[in-house]
Structure 1
Amino acid sequence: MKSIYLFMTLCLMSVVCFAQKNTLPKRALRFNIGESTHGTGDLKGLSFGTAYTHYLKKKLSLEYHFKGTIHDDQDRYLLFINGNLEQDGSVRTTTAGFQLGSLIRYSPLRTSNHEFTLAAGPYGRYESSSLGSNGYAARYPSPASPIPRILIEYDHSFPQRIYNIGYMAELSYNYTFKKQLFVGVNAAFQNDTNGDAITHLGFLIGKRF
């Protein structure tokens, strides 16, 4: 009799586990936004995007995403004459781009409510920057200059618009409520053939189906 009870218990547990496994959604759509840095971290800005995920197995999935970034900064060059501000010659730079890519995602933790994921994959990126490829030089006027103005000298030896390919690595966690909606956080790092290292840290929201 004990053997029968044990057998029935094991069967019931198997059915429950099988049912839970098969009730997990197979697809997901998410949106994310957060803060981002570009290069050595001196350019700060925003990252945003959307991604579609298809689960191949319970813990293995593929993601296809579209992401965008925009970063800006300024180097201040102020010219004072007799204690009064004569010219604000600050150099303001903006770098922006968008990319299409895919990630292979592995979720060591995935339940009906919680998911922790490690992901990595390639992307293609378009980018445009107002900063000279070899930087710039700022020249203050000499005391005897007839035109007291700050002069900015740029060196553009590469195109303003560039296309490159790269790789991305990402960590993310999300919590599902009402069976389909989820919120979470993600952190990512990427680098490409142009040497643009970009970080992401933000929030995400989405739906499973």
Structure 2
Amino acid sequence: MSSELIKRIFSSIILLPILIYLIIQGSLYFNLLLIFCFVISTYEWNNIAKTKQIKLVGLIFLILSFFSIYKLRNEFYGEYNLVFFVLLICISTDLGGYIFGKTFKGPKLTKISPQKTYSGVLGSFIISYFCSINYFYFFNNFFSKVSLLEISIIIVLISFVSQIGDLIISYFKRISNMKDTGQLIPGHGGILDRIDGMIFAFPLFYFLFATNIFK
């Protein structure tokens, strides 16, 4: 096991319970977390974006993305289940891609992110669906008006968008000759490295929720 992987595991063990606690607590605690992540993400984005126009577009997108997270947690019934649901899809998408990619290897997906493979993409969909559909059934009282087909489509869409977001940030890191957007989280890199897929997934989920798909 590499030293980087060990760092990644230990930092996840430490940070995950803190993240869960802050999301459940909501209110000031969660808002401070959002502000912190937004500020650091903006700083990291400015480091990898090359032109003022791209920096501005990225800043506007980050504002909209973090605002969608705020709305999901604080204004839609104050429910943290919505945030956890999207986080679970994104995290299991990353995990599935890593496990299947390392296990089955195979053809590379794109030069933008050389470590990504087609088997990893398949694994991302499989693992994210398995984890999220179980979460859906466990909290079926909250998602009671959503059919199995509807929630399945939503999971696949969120997983797909999460993977696209990962590739987009990887593209900008590649053209900036940067391996990571930062060094804040041992084994993970920067905040933007960790939430690259999430900042794309949350706005989509917010749109679906705001258009009454769960009502």
**Bigger relative contact order (CA 8 A; separation at least 6):** 2
Q: TM-score range by the shorter chain?
A: under 0.3
TM-score normalised by length of structure 2 = 0.26
Q: Which has the higher helix share?
A: 2
Greater strand percent: which structure?
A: 1
- Higher Cα Rg, which structure: 1
